[in-house]
Amino acid sequence: MEPTSPSKKVEACDHKPLQECLLRNNNDRSKCMKEWEDFQRACREKAQKKNQECQACKE
């Protein structure tokens, strides 16, 4: 098991469909609203399971 360091970034929510949509649309989030909403929901659920606040949901 890897030791964790205090400076280690908290695991980010990874949502491949959103990443792919943004790549196809030159990072224009307005064209990826469904993927963005799905990403936020998945991130929020993941954060709730870990009892943490979803950083991406604040953006």
Helical packing angle, 16-24 and 33-49, nearest 10° = 150
pLDDT of residue 6: 40
Establish if 6 belongs to a structural domain: no
Establish if 49 belongs to a structural domain: yes
Distance CA 30, CA 4 (A): 37
Establish if 8 belongs to a structural domain: no
Q: Strand, coil or helix: what is 53?
A: coil
pLDDT of residue 12: 58
pLDDT of residue 27: 92
Number of domains comprising the chain: 1
Establish if 44 belongs to a structural domain: yes
pLDDT of residue 48: 78
Encode pLDDT of 1-59 as tens digits.
444 434 334 445 778 999 999 999 999 989 999 999 998 988 888 877 776 666 666 66
Establish if 43 belongs to a structural domain: yes
Give the domain range for residue 43. 16-58
Establish if 5 belongs to a structural domain: no
